[in-house]
Structure 1
Amino acid sequence: MPIPVSRRDLIALSMAAPLAASGSPAVLRGAGPRVVVVGAGAFGGWTALMLRRAGADVTLVDAWGPGHARASSSGETRVIRGTYGDRAIYTTMAARAMRLWQAHDAQAGRHFFHKTGAIWIFSGDESFGESSVAPMRAAGLPIEWLDPAQARARWPHMAFEGVTRVLWEPEAGYALARRACEHVVETLIAEGGRYVVGAVPPVSADTPISSLTLAGGETLQADRFVFACGPWLGTVLPDVVGTRVRPSRQESFYFGTPAGDTRWLPPGMPVWLDYGARLYYGIPGNAHRGFKVADDSYGATFDPTHGDRAHTPEMLAEARAFLRRRFPALADAPLLGSEVCQYELTSDSHFLIDRHPRAANAWIVGGGSGHGFKMGPALGEYVARLVLEQGQTAPEFRLAHR
C-alpha cells in the first residue's frame, strides 16, 4: 500500500534511512532489488548511495562523470542554507541535509561542508526573511535579525547603505560541489555499487521498464530505475518531462582579493545573499578560486550539451557594479575567472520527484531550480525510501503539478 508523505512526516521518513548511530554506513547486503540510477549529480549520486546502503544492487550511470563541467552540480562550491520563506518542506529537508553533510564528513575524514554562516541583506521588502523565521526555528536552526549598524560592526568591510535589516543564519555555509560529487561516487563503489560512464538515449515507456541500452551498446537490466538527469531530464524523458524542466543560463564571476587580506575569507566573511531587485549571492574563499559574485535571476533557456559557456560583457559589468556598491574595497579587483552553468527550472521552482506515469517501476527526480544541491543527502534518503517501499511523494513534488 502506498506510503503518503506529508510536510510533517518528511523528516521522520528521512531519519529512517540506514545510517548507524556512529555515522558509519550500515550497508545491508541482502538480495535487494536491482536499481539503475541515471545521473551522478547531487540528486542521482546521493540517491544511488542511499539505495546501496539500504541493500539495493545499484548501478549509477553518467554521460561524462560526477561533477563534470556541463553538470548543474559542477563548479567548486554551492550554498547550504535553511531559509526558504514559507516553504517549510525545504527548510525541514535542508536541516536534515546539514546533519547528513556533517555525518558524511566525519565518516569520510574529509571537509566538504564548510559552516561559515550566511547573511541575507534586505533593502526594503523583508517578507521572505520574516516568513523564514518560524520554519527555521521549528527545524532547530537558529536565526537572528540584525539592524544595519549591528551588521556593519560585524562586517565593516561591507557597505550597508540602503539596507533595512540583515538576517543572520549561523548554521549555514557552503559545500565543495564538484569534489563532493566525485567522493559520493567513490563511496558508492567502495560500498559495493557499480558506476558506468555512458549516455542514455531518449526513453519512451508505456509499461514498466526492464532494461536501458546505452548509446555505446551496453544494456543495463534492473528491477527499478531512477532518472536524475539534471538539465537533460527533458531530453531523456521527452514525452513525460519535456519542457516541464527548463535549463537556464547562469553566469558567475570570481574576483581577486588583495594578497594576504583575510577579511574576505571565513570567519571574517560569511556566505552572503543580497535580496534586492535582483538576488546576488557569493561564497567566501570559494575553494581559493576567488571572491564569487553571481546573479540568481533566472537566465535564458540554455542547451547544456552544446551551449557556449563564455561569459557576456553585460553580465560582467552588472556584477562589477554590484561589487562596487556592496564591497567597495573590491571595486577594481581583477577578474580571475568566470563560469556559465545552468539551473534546471520547474514552473514553480519546486523539485520534481514522482513515479513515471506509465512505468510504475521508474522514478523521475530533478528540477533542482538552482537551490537543490544542498539537499543531496537528505533528498537521496527520501528518494531511496520511496523507490524501495513504493511510496507516494509529497504533493509539492508531483509531476501533475507542473
Structure 2
Amino acid sequence: MRPTRRELLAGAAAASLSAPAAAQIITRPADVAVVGAGVFGAWTAKKLQDAGRRVLLVDPWGPAHARASSGGESRMTRGAYGADEIYTRMALSSLDDWRALSRTAGLPLFAETGVLFFFPDRDPYALATIEVHRRLGLPTQVLERAEMTRRFPAIDSDGVALGLYEPQFGVLMARRAVQTLVARFVEAGGSYLAAQVLPPEAGQGRLNRLRTADGQTINADRFVFAAGPWLPRLFPDLLARRIRPTRQEVFFFRPPAGDPRFGPGQLPGWADFNGGDLFYGMPDLEARGFKIARDTHGPVMDPDEGDRGHSAEALARVRAFIARRFPALRDAPLNESRVCQYENSANGDFLIDRHPRWHNTVLVGAGSGHGFKMGPAVGAYAAALVTGAPLSIEPRFSLSSKAESGERLVH
C-alpha cells in the first residue's frame, strides 16, 4: 500500500498514484485516516505524523491533481490581510515550513519574489494592514506612487496612491509543493491509498470506518476530512449550504522576449485593489508566463463535471486590465489558461472543527481562495484538534460560525 519515492516523483514533480487493481481490506487500523491530499490534508497528515501518529492519507486522483483547489502551477503567499491579524500570523508562521520543505526538493517550491499590493487611495484595508504589520514587526514597506514606479517599471502606476511591499513573501509552486510534501510523508513511514471515499454512514457518537467506491474498508481511531470542494458531497446535510465551490479563471501571457521587467527579479507577486475590482498576478516563473486572474467569486462550479475551458468574457476583461496596468503586455500572446475553483465559506473564514456528532472526526476546508499559503498552520491546528494537544480555539474556524450565505469579508 505504501508507494515508493519513484512512484510519487516523476522528475521534478510527483506522479499521480493509481488505485489498487483489486478490492483490498485494510485490516490494520491507522491511528488517523486523512481524506484528501490537497494542501490542507497533506499538511494535516504530516503534522500528525510528526506528532507520532500512524497516518493513512487517502485521495482518489493523487496529490494536488488537476481538478483540486490545490492543483495548478502557483499560489501567492502574503501577509497583507487588513485587520484580520489571525491570517497574517498564520501566513507568517507557515513560511518556515514552506522554506524547509523547499530545501528538500529537487526544484524550488518557494520563490521569494516579494509581494506588492497597491491601492487607488489610502484604503482602510491598507491602513489596517500597516498597523498590524508594524505591531508584528514585519519589514513591510509603504511606497508612494513615485517610488513604486521606479522600483517596478512593468507596472503603470497611474491612479495608484499607495503601495505595500512585503519583501519576505512571494510565490509557492503549488502542485509541486503538495506532491513533494506527500512524498516526504510516505518516505517517513506514512501510508497513502488511492481510493474514492464514499459518504460516511451515521454512527453513535463516533465514526468507526469508511468505505471506498471499489469496495475497500478503512479503519482508524480518528478521521480527518480535508476534501476541498468535495466536502459538501461527503457531508451533504451538514455542508452543502455552507461551502460553495466557484469557478475561477486564470491566464498566463507570454512577456516580450528578453524583457527583465516581468521576471521574478523585477516583478513581485502583486494585487491591484482597483477600486474594489481586484486583479492579482505573479511574475514569469520558470518560463510559464505572466500570470493574472480576477479575484471575484465566479459561478458555482461542479469540481468533477464543470467546464475547464476559459470564457471569452473573462479573457477580454483580463486583456483590458493588462492594457491599462501592464501596457508592454497589451498584445501579448496567451500561453495558456486554467479553470480551477475556490471552495468558499460565506465570509471567507476557514472551517477547522470537530464533526458535531462524531467526536473522533475533524472537518477541514473552506480555503476560500486564500488558504493555500497557510497549509502548514491549518495542518498544525487540525492535528492539535485530533490529538488533543494544547490549542487556543479560534471561534472563526468553527462549524457553528458558518452561515449559509453572507458577504465575503476575508480578502
Give how far 1:286 is off: 3.6
Query: Which residue, out of 63, 78, 84, partners 1:81?
Result: 78
Q: Residue deviations 1:187-246, cap 9 Å, x none?
A: 110000001111111224243011101111111100000000001111111122122000
Give how far 1:334 is off: 0.3
1:295 aligns with 294
Distance 1:205 1:306 in 2: 28
Q: Residue deviations 1:163-197, cap 9 Å, x none?
A: 11111111110100000111111111000000111
The reply on whether 1:184 has 2:181 as its aligned counterpart is: yes
Question: Root-mean-square deviation (CA), in Å?
Answer: 1.6
Distance 1:357 1:157 in 2: 51
2:344 aligns with 345
Partner-residue secondary structure (3-state), 2:261 = helix
The reply on whether 1:366 has 2:365 as its aligned counterpart is: yes
1:210 aligns with 208
Distance 1:282 1:288 in 2: 15
The reply on whether 1:242 has 2:205 as its aligned counterpart is: no
1:395 aligns with 395
Give how far 1:107 is off: 4.4
2:224 aligns with 226
Letter in 2 for 1:214: T
2:87 aligns with 90
1:197 aligns with 194
**Structure 2 vs 1, CA of residues 392 and 399 (structure 1 numbering), >3 Å: closer, same or farther?**
farther
Comparing 281-290 with 293-302, greater Cα deviation is found at: 281-290
1:162 aligns with 159
Among the aligned pairs, what percent are the same residue? Answer: 47
The reply on whether 1:315 has 2:314 as its aligned counterpart is: yes
Q: Residue deviations 1:16-69, cap 9 Å, x none?
A: xxxxxxxxxxxxxxxx97100000000000110111111111000011111111
Unaligned runs of 5+ in 2: 1-28, 403-411
Give the TM-score, by structure 1 length.
Answer: 0.90
Give how far 1:252 is off: 0.6
Contact (CA 8 Å) 2:77, 2:172: kept in 1 or not? Answer: yes
Query: Which residue, out of 127, 130, 135, partners 2:127?
Result: 130
Give how far 1:384 is off: 1.0
Unaligned runs of 5+ in 1: 1-31
Q: Residue deviations 1:253-282, cap 9 Å, x none?
A: 110011222210011110010012311000
2:15 aligns with none
Give how far 1:105 is off: 2.2
Distance 2:340 2:85 in 1: 27
Contact (CA 8 Å) 1:114, 1:174: kept in 2 or not? Answer: yes
Contact (CA 8 Å) 2:76, 2:373: kept in 1 or not? Answer: yes
Partner-residue secondary structure (3-state), 1:324 = helix
1:260 aligns with 258
Q: Residue deviations 1:256-315, cap 9 Å, x none?
A: 011222210011110010012311000112442110110011111110110000000000
1:72 aligns with 69
Give how far 1:389 is off: 1.1
Query: Which residue, out of 81, 96, 100, partners 1:99?
Result: 96
Give the TM-score, by structure 2 length.
Answer: 0.88
Contact (CA 8 Å) 1:91, 1:139: kept in 2 or not? Answer: no
Contact (CA 8 Å) 1:95, 1:141: kept in 2 or not? Answer: no
Partner-residue secondary structure (3-state), 1:222 = strand
**Structure 2 vs 1, CA of residues 392 and 158 (structure 1 numbering), >3 Å: closer, same or farther?**
closer
1:282 aligns with 281
Letter in 1 for 2:70: S
Q: Residue deviations 1:123-176, cap 9 Å, x none?
A: 135111111122223334211211111101111221011111111111110100
Distance 1:258 1:282 in 2: 17
Comparing 381-390 with 61-70, greater Cα deviation is found at: 381-390
Distance 1:36 1:322 in 2: 45
Distance 1:174 1:282 in 2: 10
Distance 2:165 2:109 in 1: 22
1:60 aligns with 57
Letter in 2 for 1:123: P
Contact (CA 8 Å) 1:51, 1:58: kept in 2 or not? Answer: yes
Contact (CA 8 Å) 2:105, 2:180: kept in 1 or not? Answer: no
The number of equivalent residue pairs is 372
